[in-house]
Amino acid sequence: MIKELISSLLLVLVLSFHTANAAISPNPTVPTIAAKSYILQDSASGRIIAEQNSQQRLPPASITKLMTSYVIFNELQSGNVALADEVLISEKAWKMVGSRSFIEVNTKVPVEVLLRGMIIQSGNDAAVALAEHIAGSEETFAQMMNQYAQQLGMFNTNYRNSTGLPDTDHYTTAQDIALLSVALIGNFPEYYKWYSEKQYTYNEITQHNRNKLLWRDSTVDGLKTGHTEEAGYCLAASAKRGDMRLISVVLGTRSENARAQETQKLFNYGFRFFETHVLYKAGDKVTTSKIWKGSEKEISLGLAESLAVTVPRGRYEELVATTNLQQAIIAPVAQGSVLGEVEIRLDNKLIAKQSLIALTAAEQGSWWRRILDTILMLIWG
């Protein structure tokens, strides 16, 4: 009787254990997101964690200003303009409808003031004033925007203006916006800080950043909201928790609160169930290989860019890395030459791959070394 009771208790414990673990799915489903299109992407690895209609062309409204600022940041970095440069405000800029920075016609306003007004207050007047200052006209500036879009690989994007005001030929996608966001954060950290500012005062008027997540989630530090009747309520946002940064883009939600709530859902999902690790840093030695006919016997191989992977949380130790090298590496070899690749697998599925390059140049060896290696290569095939 006692044995039967113990057996029953053990059975209950085993069943309870399996039931509890069955409820924890190894790949939890993405929460329902009320948006026409969305994407959640890791910034370092590029891994798309969740998406729906992310390549659908849609009007971006004021999220357009991410590219407007990207162009201007490049102009600042190249020295073509300076933050202290004064911009003469045209009548066109002054008359712009929609969100405004309250700049006055025929006054001169520094580039930095206009940038912060455009980024924080989403000023259409500031965006047009900057576009005219950089390119002479907003139409020419839009051509610059499209050139940068092509360089970044934003092949489903076309800009017609610097503001995002409606135009039938002005469109982008959630995926392209995420791509732009990663580039903006990575290339211009000194200017990206403005995207986290909650308010800005100009001309004795204080306006607040429309990104509600800046108040609700301390890990969110950007990026940009947008709204028109055609586009709905949109939000491109970035959050960093620990060493992991995620980019979220939601397009076509029903309200200001909805775009914030749907974005928060995506962030909570991504950070809870996934983790990102940098496996190899740019320039670090990944492996070595024998080099034939060289002054040295081995050559060090590494990566031109850091390699990061995003995996389900708790599965980092299961990653398997393999290297595939050229059958025979023969000197001379120039620094940066591609000599193979490294592959990263999880569950025997390829999740990342990157070329292996020569970290240093390899010179030819002596005539005796070259003759000896030629003979050895013939013998060994």
Active site residue 198: no
Q: Where do the structural domains in the chain lie, given as residue ranges? A: 37-275, 281-380
| 9 confidence band (pLDDT: 50, 70, 90) | very low
List, for residues 214-235, the tens digit of each pLDDT value: 999 999 999 999 999 999 999 9
pLDDT at 140 exceeding the cut of 50 = yes
Active-site annotation holder among 43, 65, 69, 212 = 65
In three-state form (DSSP H/G/I as H, E/B as E, the rest C), the secondary structure along the chain is CHHHHHHHHHHHHHHHHHHHHHCCCCCCCCCCCCCCEEEEEECCCCCEEEEECCCCCECCHHHHHHHHHHHHHHHHHHCCCCCCCEEECCHHHHCCCCCCCCCCCCCEEEHHHHHHHHHHHCCHHHHHHHHHHHHCCHHHHHHHHHHHHHHHCCCCCECCCCCCCCCCCCEECHHHHHHHHHHHHHHCHHHHHHHHCCEEEECCEEEECCCCHHHHCCCEEEEEEEEECCCEEEEEEEEEECCEEEEEEEEEECCHHHHHHHHHHHHHHHHHHEEEEEEECCCCEEEEEECECECCCEEEEECCCCEEEEEECCCHHHCEEEEEECCCCECCECCCCEEEEEEEEECCEEEEEEEEEECCCECECCHHHHHHHHHHHHHHC
Catalytic residue, candidates 54, 122, 162, 238: 122
- Cis link prior to 60 (omega < 30° from 0)? no
Spatial CB neighbours of 315, under 8 Å, sequence gap ≥ 6: 346
Write the CA distances from 85 to 81, 88, 111, 328, integer angstroms.
7, 10, 6, 57
For residue 239, what are the β-bridge partners? Answer: 220, 246
User: What does the pLDDT look like over 251-265, one tens digit per residue?
Assistant: 999 999 999 999 999
162 catalytic residue (yes or no): no
Model confidence band, residue 371 (pLDDT cutoffs 50, 70, 90):
confident
Order of strands, edge to edge, in the sheet holding 320-325? 285-290, 298-302, 349-358, 338-346, 320-325
| 26 confidence band (pLDDT: 50, 70, 90) | low
- At residue 294, the pLDDT reads 84
Average pLDDT rounded to a whole number, residues 193-211: 88
pLDDT value at residue 2 = 36
Query: What are the pLDDT digits (tens) for 311-321?
Result: 999 999 999 99
Which stretch of 8-12, 114-118, 306-310 has the lowest confidence by average pLDDT? Answer: 8-12
Residues 208, 225: contact at Cβ < 8 Å? no
Top pLDDT among 79 and 374 is at: 79
Among the listed residues 45, 62, 69, 181, the single catalytic one is 62
What digits encode the pLDDT tens for the residues 269-306? 999 999 999 999 999 999 999 998 888 999 999 999 99
Confidence of residue 191 (pLDDT cuts 50, 70, 90): very high
pLDDT of residue 158: 98
CATH hierarchy code of domain 281-380: 2.60.410.10
The verdict on whether 255 is a catalytic residue reads no
pLDDT at 273: 97
Instruction: With beta carbons less than 8 A apart as the criterion, state whether 213 and 264 touch.
Output: yes
From the CB of residue 190, how many other CB atoms can be counted at a distance below 10 Å?
9
Tokens coding 101: 């920075």
- pLDDT-derived band at 4 (thresholds 50, 70, 90) equals very low
pLDDT, position 25: 40
> Do 66 and 236 touch, CB atoms closer than 8 A?
yes
pLDDT in tens, 39-64: 999 999 999 999 999 999 999 999 99
User: What integer pLDDT is reported at residue 381 of this predicted model?
Assistant: 66
User: Does the pLDDT value for residue 1 go beyond 70?
Assistant: no
Q: What is the CATH number of domain 37-275?
A: 3.40.710.10
At 352, list the tokens.
Answer: 């990342």
Name the pLDDT band for 104 (thresholds 50, 70, 90).
confident
